[in-house]
Chains A and B, each alone.
Chain A
Amino acid sequence: MSKDYIQLIQEAESYFDTGDIQHGIALLIQASELAGEAGEPVEQSAILNSLALAQEHSGQVAVARETLLRSFKLLRHANALTEAKVLNNLGLIEGNLGNSEAAKQYYQSSLELVTEVDDRVQMAWSLNNLGIVCKDQGQLTEARAYSEQALALLENEDAPQAQAHVLSGLGLTLELLHDVEGAQEYYQRALELYRQVDDQENEAVILHNLGQLYDNQNNFSDALEYYFKSLAINLKNQYKLGVTDNLNSLAALISTAYQVIESLEKQLDNPLRDFPLKFGHIISAWLQVLEDVLGESNSLNRSGDFSLVAALTEAESLESAIKMHKQILRFNQKIGYPVGQIKTLIDLGLLVRDAQQLDVAEQYLTQALTLAEEVANPNDLYNVYFNRGDIRMMAGRVSEAINDYAAAVDAAESIRTRLLLEEEALDYFAWPNLAAYDRLVRIQARLERTKQALSWAERAKSREFLRRLRLSDITRPQQVPQTLIEQEMQLIIQLRQTAIDLQAANEVDRLNILRNYESLEKKLCELWNKMEQFAPEYVALRQGKPTSWEELQQCLQV
Chain B
Amino acid sequence: MRKDYRQLLEEAQFYLDKGDWEHGVPLLQQASKQAGEEGEPIQQSVILNNLALVQERAGQGVIARETLLYSLKLLRHVNALNEIQVLNNLGLIERNLGNLDEAIKYYEKILKIIEDIDEPFEEVRALTTLGLLYKDQNKLTKAIAHVQDALTLLEDTTVAALCEQREEGCRETVSSALALILEQLNDSPER
Contact = CB atoms under 8 A, between A and B. Distances in A.
A61 B102 CA distance: 15
B53 A238 contact: no
Contacts of A79: 75, 79, 82-83
B79 A72 contact: no
B62 interface: yes
Contacts of B83: 72, 75-76, 79
Given A86-B49, A90-B68, A237-B19, A45 B82 contact: yes
A241 B53 CA distance: 12
A65 interface: yes
B97 interface: yes
A230 interface: no
A510 interface: no
Given A79-B83, A335-B61, A49 B68 contact: no
B60 interface: yes
Contacts of B62: 97, 336
A238 B65 CA distance: 20
Contact of A236 (B19, B42, B64): B19
A65 B58 contact: no
Contacts of B58: 238, 240, 335
A69 interface: yes
B128 interface: no
A459 to B, nearest CB: 40
A97 B76 CA distance: 24
A463 B75 CA distance: 50
Interface in B14-63: 18-21, 42, 45-46, 49, 52-53, 56-62
Interface in B85-102: 85-87, 89-90, 92-94, 96-97
A71 B86 contact: yes
A86 B75 contact: yes
Interface string A12-44: 000000000000000000000000000000100
A75 B46 CA distance: 16
A433 interface: no
B97 to A, nearest CB: 6
Contacts of B75: 79, 82-83, 86
B79 A335 contact: no
A299 interface: yes
B69 interface: yes
A375 interface: no
Given A53-B89, A75-B82, A337 B76 contact: no
A93 B56 contact: yes
User: For the side of the interface on A, what is the size category?
Assistant: 35 or more
A302 interface: yes
Given A86-B45, A90-B68, A237-B19, A336 B90 contact: no
A89 B68 contact: yes
B129 interface: no
Interface in A319-355: 334-337
B72 interface: yes
Nearest to A338: B61
A96 B56 contact: yes
A56 B59 contact: no
A120 interface: no
Interface string A70-103: 0110011001001101110110111011000000
Contacts of B18: 298-299
| Chain A interface, DSSP helix/strand/loop, else mixed | helix
Interface string A95-135: 01100000000000000000000000000000000000000
A86 B45 CA distance: 9
A161 to B, nearest CB: 14
B35 to A, nearest CB: 14
B56 A241 contact: yes
A226 to B, nearest CB: 20
Contacts of B60: 335-336
B42 A241 contact: no
A90 B93 contact: no
Contacts of A334: 59
Contacts of A298: 18
A236 to B, nearest CB: 6
Contacts of B49: 85-86, 89
B42 A42 contact: yes
Contacts of B64: 93
Given A89-B52, A92-B56, A201-B57, A72 B45 contact: no
Given A89-B49, A238-B21, A72 B59 contact: no
B94 A65 contact: yes
Contacts of B89: 49, 52-53, 68
A237 B93 CA distance: 54
A243 to B, nearest CB: 9
B59 A65 contact: no
Nearest to A336: B61
A209 to B, nearest CB: 18
Nearest to A83: B75
Contact of B93 (A52, A86, A236, A335): A52
A465 interface: no
A56 B90 contact: no
A46 interface: yes
Interface of A: 42, 45-46, 49, 52-53, 56, 61-62, 64-65, 68-69, 71-72, 75-76, 79, 82-83, 85-87, 89-90, 92-94, 96-97, 201, 236-242, 244, 298-299, 302, 334-337
Closest 4 A/B residue pairs (Cβ) = A335-B59, A240-B59, A79-B79, A238-B19
Given A65-B97, A93-B68, A238-B58, 14 more contacts: A56-B96, A62-B97, A65-B90, A72-B83, A72-B87, A79-B79, A82-B42, A90-B72, A93-B65, A237-B19, A238-B57, A240-B57, A334-B59, A335-B60
27 contacts: A49-B85, A49-B89, A61-B96, A62-B97, A65-B90, A69-B90, A75-B86, A82-B46, A82-B79, A86-B45, A89-B49, A90-B65, A93-B52, A93-B56, A93-B68, A96-B56, A97-B61, A236-B19, A237-B57, A239-B57, A241-B56, A298-B18, A302-B20, A334-B59, A335-B59, A336-B59, A336-B60
